[in-house]
Chain A
Amino acid sequence: MAQDETINYLNHDRSLKSWLLTKDHKRIGLMYLGAVSLAFLAGGILALLIRLELLTPGETIMGPDAYNQSFTIHAVLMVFVVLIPAIPAALGNFFLPLQLGARDVAFPRLNLFSFYLYLTGAVIVLSALIVGRIDGGWTFYAPYSERVGDSILFVTTGVFVMGFSSILTGLNFIVTVHKMRTPGLTWNRLPLFVWSIYSTAIVQVLATPVIGITMVLLFLERFLSIGIFDPALGGDPVLFQHFFWFYSHPAVYIMILPAFGIISELIGTFSRHRVSGYTFVALSSVAIAFLGFLVWGHHMFVSGQSAVSSVVFSLLTYLIGIPTGVKVLNWVTTMYRGSISFKTPMIYALIFLFTFSIGGFSGVMVGVLGIDIHLHDTYFIVAHFHYVMMGGTVIAMLGGIHYWWPKMTGRMYNETLGKIAAILVFIGFNLTFFPQFIMGSRGMPRRYYDYLPEFQFMHELSTYGSWILGAALFMILGYMMASLINGKKAPSNPWGALTLEWTHAAALPHPHNFLATPIVVRGPYDYHLAREMFELVPSGDGQHGEVIPGVEASEPDGRPEEA
């Protein structure tokens, strides 16, 4: 394609104002990526400090009060400021319209607005640190959250505001997928990343309003004592937990569904094979999105909710295993049939298969009523959700960042360092969290500041693991930044992928994404239709994918350019 190499979305206007007021989904995506990374850095440093404190029983580096605050802020940052917006708002924003062959999301102004809402929410949350102490974890359970100091108000307000940002992003993406697909891009030709972001958006739109009203009621209860949640006023604290988890369980799928999408892309691309069971993988995302609304009570087995609802929630929780299993089996089948190239992103996909499977299986375990009574509020739970959140979402996010880095920045990172870092992440992660499964099953309660001496060995292993993990993450930060300065210039399609962002957009995309409207005539992973691709790829430099069999560009479209 005759792409104009000189003009791209980064250099067409370099002023600060053009960034702050941009309506370009690519720039908004990058700004999200920056903000999320900063919050991840802060939350990560807190995690390292928490692990360091737990190296020995008793006080190691901080007192119990600082410890309570650290794990609370770590959780609030990681859940609300990092994991929920991480993949959809950063990578989703950047690549959803590109994969759809669209010029932008359906509502670009709303997109920018939701970014600023997110920033505002994050700032409000962080200002809680200045106002006073927040402890008690990220769940704000009533009535404690209504009686503790005022700084909790900043956290709940911040969560409320960020919730609106999440709703607007989801709304924008749903409409974009429905209305902005390029000609020929039918539903059964959508890349699986699009399917997963679409399913995520459904959850964002349907679940998030409930956390909004929950925060409003919490606020009113604190100031007017309306007596909905506080037992001292005639309210019911378990009702608060229902409200909270009606959002917060589906929120887990806001975090993990996009990760599934990235893994599908990575496994399809690096196995050089059509993702087997495409329809099942695509629809299982939608199935998980809806099933995810029926299981929230599994967080409340020991809360005093009725036994009949515990039984129902427990049974429904098992069902989630089915669509998730469908995905994992199809990914493995894809690799079995394909010819795998072990590039860094693919290594993250393989790590994901290992760590997420452990997270998923341990999740089914704690969904079992009898077992959960013993494991509730122990390190087993901590290990389980870190295997899902970090072993799932963060690993997939790292894979996605490596995969799309050339498209976002136009630079290649150092492949050798990338592989070393990925392996270190794998070792560090498992060393940190696997001992926590063992501790938890032996009765080490979560959130405790102090512990019995027999747990010290496991805690030590976990802390050493956190150092390896931390070092690996800093290493990634290092070589990624270095690639911006002296990385090799990336070709437009370094991996020989078949989705539109690689085949039809320039190495650095044009401000309006495509010079010509792409017309799609085949599926996103139809490698069997494009044998020529395999010969083109290995050399790894220069412009590839000029002509891809089965994909043609229309004549330059006559849509008016903005002045």
Chain B
Amino acid sequence: MTSHSAEGHPAHLEHHFVSSEQQFDAAKMGMWLFLVTEILLFSGMFVTYTVFRSWHPEVFAHSAELLDWRMGGINTIVLLASSFTVALAVHFAQKDNMRLVIINLMVTLVFAFLFLVIKYFEYTGKFAHGVFPGAAFDPHGVAGGHNYADYNIPYAAQFFSIYFVMTGIHAFHVIVGIGVIAWITLRVSRGEFSSAYYTPVELTGLYWHLVDIIWIFLFPLLYLI
């Protein structure tokens, strides 16, 4: 049995765990389970996408032309880079270099904001031409070499509904991620973590990578094919 004296008991260790190792493993396993629930949540949208695409492949291929692959591509790179910086933050937390943890988390935040800004311009660009989700779908005007009225075909509304719902829920996850990363950064700067205890940093990283992975699939599905 592991036994600590009351004095040798680390502050972060909760009373119902025997060791820090047990507490860390439990937290990480809980996080992976949570990520699986996220995957199944998104799977509902991927199923919807696949069903409607398999019913109306030409409509989906045609409608995807309206989405700018340059914007989507840049956003892909931005999110991948943010994943990299979060991985670096965990790396430096393990090496007890808390200054570099903070810097990497802040850079991650910048990337996350950049992603949302680009998304904002994409959305407003679509709204300006009447490309809304659902009943308000009424494409008009000319921009970027596309005559939007050509895209007013049956089931194009479904494509754009699915586009807005999928990217919207993804963006919601990005916003939540920004909140969590900001909070963790604050806690790091307060000196709450060390190489002996950095579980929240690691868990936040896992969450952020999942947000990245979802986008890795959304990008080709919506913009490219």
Contact = CB atoms under 8 A, between A and B. Distances in A.
Interface centre among A183, A205, A208, A213, by most chain B C-beta atoms within 10 angstroms, is A213
Contact of B165 (A171, A179, A220, A512): A220
Contact of A560 (B1, B4, B36, B135): B4
Interface string B1-25: 1011110010000111010001001
Contacts of A108: 14, 16
Contacts of A208: 37
Given A517-B1, A554-B1, A560-B6, A174 B33 contact: yes
The number of chain A residues touching the other chain, given as a range, is 35 or more
Contact of B161 (A178, A206, A227, A560): A227
Contacts of A216: 169
Contact of A171 (B1, B30, B169): B30
A228 B158 contact: yes
A65 interface: no
Contacts of A418: none
A560 B16 contact: no
A107 B33 CA distance: 13
B30 A559 contact: no
A557 interface: yes
Interface stretch (B41-49, B104-112, B183-191): B41-49
Interface string B146-165: 00000000110110011011
Interface string A153-179: 000000000000001000110110011
A104 B16 contact: yes
Interface stretch (A113-121, A231-239, A486-494): A231-239
B30 A558 contact: no
A554 B1 CA distance: 9
Interface string B117-152: 000000000000000111110000000000000000
A106 B30 CA distance: 9
Contact of B48 (A167, A228, A234): A228
Contacts of B132: 224
A229 to B, nearest CB: 9
Nearest to A519: B1
Interface string A94-127: 0000000011101110100000000000000000
A107 B28 CA distance: 12
Contact of A224 (B4, B30, B134): B134
Interface residues of B, number: 44
Main SS of the interface on chain A?
Answer: helix
B3 A175 contact: no
B26 A106 contact: yes
A420 B14 CA distance: 47
B29 interface: yes
A171 B27 CA distance: 11
A221 B14 CA distance: 45
B196 interface: no
A239 B29 contact: no
Interface centre among B30, B155, B162 (most CB of A within 10 A): B30
B41 to A, nearest CB: 4
B34 interface: yes
Contact of B158 (A103, A183, A234, A558): A234
A100 to B, nearest CB: 11
Contacts of A221: 134
A206 B43 contact: no
A397 B158 CA distance: 46
Interface in A186-233: 205-210, 212-214, 216-217, 220-221, 224-228, 233
A535 interface: no
A210 B161 contact: no
Nearest to B52: A228
B176 interface: no
A365 B81 CA distance: 56
A562 interface: yes
B96 interface: no
B225 interface: no
Given A180-B22, A233-B157, A559-B3, 17 more contacts: A107-B30, A167-B37, A174-B29, A178-B26, A179-B22, A206-B36, A207-B40, A209-B37, A209-B38, A212-B41, A213-B42, A225-B135, A512-B16, A517-B1, A557-B3, A558-B4, A560-B9
Interface of A: 102-104, 106-108, 110, 167, 171-172, 174-175, 178-180, 183, 205-210, 212-214, 216-217, 220-221, 224-228, 233-236, 239, 242-243, 512, 517, 554, 557-562
25 contacts: A102-B16, A107-B26, A108-B14, A171-B30, A171-B33, A174-B29, A183-B1, A206-B36, A209-B37, A210-B40, A212-B41, A213-B42, A216-B169, A217-B45, A224-B133, A224-B135, A226-B161, A226-B164, A227-B134, A228-B161, A234-B154, A512-B15, A517-B1, A560-B4, A560-B5
What 10 A-B pairs come out closest when comparing CB atoms? A558-B3, A213-B44, A225-B135, A226-B161, A224-B134, A103-B16, A104-B16, A209-B41, A209-B40, A225-B134
